Structures are given as structure tokens and as C-alpha cells.
Amino acid sequence: MPNSPTPPVRIALIGAGRIGTHHATALAHDVHTAELVAVVDPRLEAAQGLAAPLGARAEAEASGVLADPQVDAVVVTTPAALHRDLIVEAARAGKHVFTEKPITTELNEAAECVEAAGRAGVVLQVGFNRRFAPGFVAARRAVDAGRVGTPQLLRSLTRDPGPYGGDPTRTPLWTIFLETLIHDFDTLRWLNPGAEVDSVTAQADALIRPDARADGFLDTALVSLRFNNGAFATAEASFSASYGYDVRGEVFGDGGMVTAGSGRTTDMEYYGPAGVSYETSRGGGHRPAALRLRGGVQGLRGGHPRRRPRHSHWRRRCQGPPDRPRRHRFHPAVPHRPH
């Protein structure tokens, strides 16, 4: 008698904002081993607007999907300050959790999330999409194969497409570190397997919007890291690249060098009277995001999920931690050793 097909992983998405919209669309159209069953947002009309075209139900409260035995997992795409409560509650309800980065905004809360998932025996995955981008995956394979030898210098950068159109007064101080550079920190550690960060030096300023500097706004940053295997690394970020979205990585060692990523949309080059040109991307590269969701779902269905627990209108519905003071000054070239 033939085996019955493995049922899809039934997923509820919590947070119908910009990132939530991308994830919901990917789950419905690109991850065929998953079924999007619900979209949750305290703005019920936003949840309905996202859920209806995708064949999912809409709810205003997370409690309903967490109590639903037909929901296997949740995808958390709310503001970061709300992650801790949702992750812990989902784990206690026996739901696997995929959360957007950062896992939380406080180290002790991140530890609570990891501990809750461990106690409940559920998978907790944080969305670091460069681990699924083909170029970065190939770079990691080259490092694992010893093609670069011992890593000595590493680099990772993120430059968002300009011009910057955000409101500095509504952007938390830590955004460039915990929302942007967090990808680079993860990439640098991932491309230097087995090594841990020993010291960090960070510099940041408002170079794109110097008029917002007095409010503590930061739009440009450079971070230097030293690993315990001796390697040096740099991570850099900018909120405004005039030529488009730019993500790159590099590992240099005593046996060679690998690079990954580029600002190009495709590998097409145009040769003409004015010289050589190519197209750049104005988007955020959401294909790797779909791949990371697919990888997580396949792990759950196969019974061998890989755990990676390393590391407003919403406030009316879920009590988050209080806002931290916006005014803070980063002193250049002051080393910090992680606890």
C-alpha cells in the first residue's frame, strides 16, 4: 500500500506589515510544502487585505491561532519589541517559530526565547536570508572545502537603495545595527565557522541626514571585529546607496579568496559608446527570504529541522518592553568585549 503524502506544514503569520506581506506571499506561492492558514494583525483590515487573496483567514489576536491545534507553526513579523512575548507564548503553545530578525532587542529576552523553545521541544529559527542566497552558500562551501585556507580577513556590507525616505524621528537609534548590520554580523560568523567574536569596535554617524544627528539618528556605520582564531572582519552599512541595493561578502585567507553578492540585478553587461554598464537592483532581494522559509518548512516535514537559536498599533494588543532613550552617543574606536 503506497504511503500517504506528507501533509503541508500549516502556518499562521503574525504581522501584516511590509515584511509580513513578502513572507505571506512566499508561503502561499513559493513554499509548496506549507499552507498559510491565517494572518494576524491588530489592524484587522490589514490582516483581511493580506489574507483574503491568499486563501487564509484573518484574525486580530494572536491568541486564536496559538490555541488552534490545526496550526503547526507561526511566522513572526511584528515590530521587534514584541517578538519576545509572541515567541515565548507560541513555544508554550507547542508551535514551531520562525521569527524575523532581530530575535529580540535585549539579550536576556533572546535567552528567554531560546530557553522556551528548548523546554517545549519546538524549533526556533531566526530569519537570516544570506545563509540561503546562492552566492553566499557557494562561498561557505568554498570555505568548508579549505579553498581559502585559514580565514584572515572578512568583509560584509549592506547598502540600502537610496534616496533615503524614512523619517529619522520615527527610526529607533539601534535600527542600523539590529535591523541592517545584524545580517552582516551573522554572515561574518557564518563564513568563519568555528570561530567566535572576541572584540568589537563600532562607529556610526548621520552622514545621509546630518540634520538629524542631534536627535541621535544613525544612518551610516562601520564595525570592526576580531575573532578568537585571529581573523579580522569589518561590517559596514548605509541607508542610501544612489545606485541601488548592494549586499556583498568576502573571505580572504592564506589559500585564496572568495566573494559573494553584488549590486547587479543580473550578470548582463552592456557595452556601448559610453562604456560598460549593467543594471542594479532597487529592491531588497526577497528570493533568499523565500528560500529560508522553504528550508525551514522542509526541515519540519522531514523530521530533522535544524535549530539555529544563536543568538504603535501593536502596543495596544501586546505589552512590549519600554522604549529605550533615543539620545545616545557612540564614541569612535572604543572597543567592547561581548559578555
SS3 content of the chain, % helix, strand, coil (to 5): 35, 25, 40
What is the grid cell recorded at 107? 539579550
Look up the pTM and report it. 0.79
What SS3 state is found at 79? coil
Q: Which CATH superfamily is domain 9-129+289-316 in?
A: NAD(P)-binding Rossmann-like Domain (3.40.50.720)
- Residue 95 burial class via C-beta count within 10 angstroms: exposed 0-12, middle 13-18, buried 19 and up: buried
80 contacts 105 by C-beta, under 8 angstroms: yes
Q: Please list, in sequence order, all residues whose beta carbon lies within 8 angstroms of the beta carbon of residue 179, skipping any fewer than 6 positions away.
A: 80, 101, 102
The stretches of 223-304 forming alpha helices (DSSP H) are 287-302
CA distance 263 to 178: 22
Chain centre distance of CA 337: 24
C-alpha to C-alpha distance for 54 and 70, rounded to whole angstroms: 18
Q: Is the CATH number of domain 150-260 3.90.1150.10?
A: no
The residue with cell 527570504 is: 289
Q: Closest Cα partner for 78 from 91, 62, 63?
A: 62
Q: Which residues contact 171 (CB under 8 A, 6 or more apart)?
A: 217
Q: Which residues pair with 331 in a beta bridge?
A: none
Domain boundaries for CATH 3.40.50.720 within the chain: 9-129+289-316
Name the CA dihedral angle for 305, 311, 312, 315, rounded to a multiple of 10 degrees.
80
Question: In this structure, are residues 72 and 94 in contact, taking their beta carbons and an 8 Å threshold?
Answer: no
CA separation for the pair 28, 50 (Å, rounded): 11
**CATH 3.30.360.10-classified regions of the chain:** 150-260
pLDDT digit of tens for each residue in the chain (339 aa)? 456 578 899 999 999 999 999 999 999 999 989 999 999 999 999 999 999 999 999 999 999 999 999 999 999 999 999 999 999 999 999 999 999 999 999 999 999 999 999 999 999 999 998 998 999 999 999 999 999 999 999 999 999 999 999 999 989 888 999 999 999 999 999 999 999 999 999 999 999 999 999 999 999 999 999 999 999 999 999 999 998 899 999 999 999 999 999 767 666 766 668 877 767 766 555 455 665 566 666 666 565 444 343 333 333 333 333 333 333 333 333 333 333
